């Protein structure tokens, strides 16, 4: 149904203006060129598609209550689908050494989804296997893919055994009575670095003694090659549709490529590196998507560290590989990290979401942000904008320390958008060249009630609130 909003045109404001030299000495914003005051009809965004939706990261670090998480997520699946989500990234679904307290990144039994009594519990932190299967089924019923978090750099929780290659005891024995109750993919010291066929894996930065040797046929067979391998069991038996590869700095790119060549599916790699050249090289070596840490850090620098939006005019992965860049503003690691340069402050989160949800790339929404009542409606509106109008080539129309204006040029059938970010304390306006002519514009983010008019040459005077943003596009012509 087409929705109508009433926009009142304002003739003058006694607030600070934006000038080309960023001099805020003026006290009056320029009067906009607008049609006669009255009713304007927003576009029906349900009639437009950008060809891209968003992924939901469905957890945060140390989720509570323990044992109920799969059921909690099941209750949210339908509403997430309605909001425009098309994939769910689940936490590591199998038993870790920490048992009922484990977030899964200390993997012990790759086939225990909450059905074997070991490490002090039967269920995982997130619930039982049956509850997980119900969640996956419900996601599929709502046309959502389910992404498995895959941790194959290291293992944890095995039994102690003498390791001749280290000349000491190591916790590298995994069998039915030592951290691998399923009996599938049993391991011992020969399957970890170093061993009789491999020296140390220099790429591993932690869990060195339990760092899997992916060069071995035995390990490859159990991880992705044979019919009951981890990859094929997760896909064919459990119903997972794709993969999030944890800590790929710890093993070679060919491992991810081999996995994908064998089983396919959507994938995204956690290559924690802010250099877009490094991320680009990994994409080309593996064929996998990667989390766009280059954009994450540019947002952190622009909004927090240096408070300078010109950092958004730097090189980022989405510029060269938009179809492979999985953008984000937060995840379970950044939010628990004590390093202030590894997270975006709460007061800037919505601006960061406005950026990734209007720019190219595949955005990821962080559970804790979406479920924050102060953020949810605004993020939902941005998802709607992303899924409908965020299409076409990008062009930065203006950028300085506290203003950033970017245009998505749209297509012949889609008008695209212009995002205006303003990190100063006051409302600003700036005249730019749009692709729209003889058209009233409105802010689809609902942060501004200003309704400027794009003249026959496309020139238009746009507005953004202080410490905020606006997302502009055209309206339906009045009959």
246 is catalytic: yes
- Tens of pLDDT, residue by residue over 423-470, are 999 999 999 999 999 999 999 999 999 999 999 999 999 999 999 999
Residue (of 414, 423, 475) closest to 450 by Cα position: 475
Please, where in the chain does CATH 2.60.40.1180 lie?
5-48+394-476
Q: What is the pLDDT of residue 15?
A: 32
Q: Which of 246, 300, 369, 402 is catalytic?
A: 246
Please, where in the chain does CATH 3.20.20.80 lie?
54-389
Q: What is the pLDDT of residue 466?
A: 98
CATH classification number, 54-389, choose in 3.40.50.150, 3.90.230.10, 1.10.40.30, 3.20.20.80: 3.20.20.80
Read off the pLDDT of each residue in 82-98 and give the average, rounded to a whole number: 98
The reply, when asked if residue 199 is annotated as ligand binding, is no
As a whole number, the mean pLDDT across the chain is 92
3-state SS track over the chain: CCCCEEECCCCCCCCCCCCCCCCCCCCCCCCCCCCCCEEEEECCHHHCCCCCCEEEECCCCCCCCCCCHHHHHHHHHHHHHHHCEEEEECCCCCEECCHHHCCCCCEEECCCCCCCCECCECCECCECHHHHHHHHHHHHHCCCEEEEEECCCECCCCEEEEECCCCEEEEEEEECCEECCCCCCCECHHHECCCCCCCCCCCCCCCHHHEECCCCHHHHHHHHHCCCCHHHHHHHHHCCCEEEECCHHHCCHHHHHHHHHHHCCEEEECCCCCCHHHHHHHHHHHCCEEECHHHHHHHHHHHHHCCCHHHHHCCCHHHHCCCCEEECCCCHHHHHCCCHHHCCCHHHHHHHHHHHCCCCCEEEEEHHHHCCCCCHHHHHHHHHHHHHHCCCCEEEEEECCCEEEEEECCCCCCCCEEEEEECCCCCEEEEEECCCCCEEEEECCCCCCCCCEECCCCEEEEEECCCEEEEEEEEECCC
The reply, when asked if residue 153 is annotated as ligand binding, is yes
425 is catalytic: no
Q: Domain 5-48+394-476 falls in which CATH fold?
A: Immunoglobulin-like (2.60.40)
Q: What is the pLDDT of residue 479?
A: 47
Q: Which of 241, 270, 300, 402 is catalytic?
A: 270
- Tens of pLDDT, residue by residue over 284-328, are 999 999 999 999 999 999 999 999 999 999 999 999 999 999 999
pLDDT over 70, % of the chain = 90
- Tens of pLDDT, residue by residue over 260-286, are 999 999 999 999 999 999 999 999 999
pTM: 0.92
């Amino acid at each position: 149904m087409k929705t109508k909003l009433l926009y009142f045109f304002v003739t003058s404001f006694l607030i600070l203006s934006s000038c080309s030299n960023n001099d805020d000495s003026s006290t009056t914003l320029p009067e906009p060129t607008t049609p006669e005051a009255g009713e304007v009809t927003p576009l029906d965004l349900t009639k437009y598609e950008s060809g891209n939706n968003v992924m939901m990261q469905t957890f945060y670090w140390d989720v509570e209550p323990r044992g109920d998480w799969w059921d909690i997520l099941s209750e949210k699946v339908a509403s997430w689908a309605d909001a425009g989500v098309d994939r769910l990234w689940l936490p590591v679904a199998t038993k870790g050494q920490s048992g009922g307290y484990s977030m899964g990144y200390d993997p012990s039994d790759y086939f225990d989804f909450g059905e074997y009594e070991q490490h002090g519990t039967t269920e995982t932190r997130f619930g039982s296997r049956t509850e997980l299967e119900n969640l996956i089924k419900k996601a599929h019923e709502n046309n959502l893919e389910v992404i498995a978090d895959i941790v194959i750099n290291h293992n944890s929780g095995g039994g102690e055994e003498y390791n001749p290659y280290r000349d000491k005891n190591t916790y590298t024995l995994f069998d039915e009575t030592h951290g691998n109750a399923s009996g599938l993919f049993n391991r011992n010291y020969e399957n970890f670095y170093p061993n009789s066929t491999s020296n140390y894996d220099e790429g591993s930065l932690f869990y060195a003694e339990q760092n899997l040797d992916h060069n071995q046929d035995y390990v490859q067979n159990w991880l992705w090659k044979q019919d009951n391998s981890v990859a094929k069991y997760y896909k064919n038996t459990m119903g997972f549709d794709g993969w999030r590869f944890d800590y790929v700095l710890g093993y070679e790119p060919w491992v991810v490529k081999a996995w994908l060549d064998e089983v396919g599916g959507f994938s995204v790699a956690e290559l924690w590196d802010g250099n877009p050249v490094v991320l680009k090289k990994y994409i080309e070596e593996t064929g996998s998507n990667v989390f766009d840490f280059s954009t994450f850090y540019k947002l952190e620098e622009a909004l927090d560290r240096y408070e300078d939006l010109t950092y958004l005019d730097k090189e980022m992965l989405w510029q060269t590989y938009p179809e492979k860049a999985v953008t984000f503003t937060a995840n379970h690691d950044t939010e628990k990290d004590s390093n202030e340069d590894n997270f975006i402050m709460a007061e800037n989160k919505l601006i960061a979401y406005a950026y990734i949800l209007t720019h190219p790339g595949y955005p990821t929404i962080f559970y804790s942000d979406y479920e924050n009542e102060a953020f949810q409606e605004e993020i939902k509106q941005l998802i709607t904008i992303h899924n409908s109008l965020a299409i076409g080539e990008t062009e930065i129309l203006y950028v300085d320390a506290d203003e950033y204006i970017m245009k998505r040029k749209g297509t012949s059938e889609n008008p695209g958008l212009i995002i205006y970010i303003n990190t100063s304390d006051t409302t600003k306006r700036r005249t730019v060249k749009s692709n729209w002519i003889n058209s009233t514009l409105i802010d689809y983010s609902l942060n501004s009630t200003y309704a400027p008019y794009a003249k026959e040459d496309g020139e238009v005077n746009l507005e953004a609130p202080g410490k905020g943003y606006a997302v502009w596009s055209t309206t339906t012509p009045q009959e």
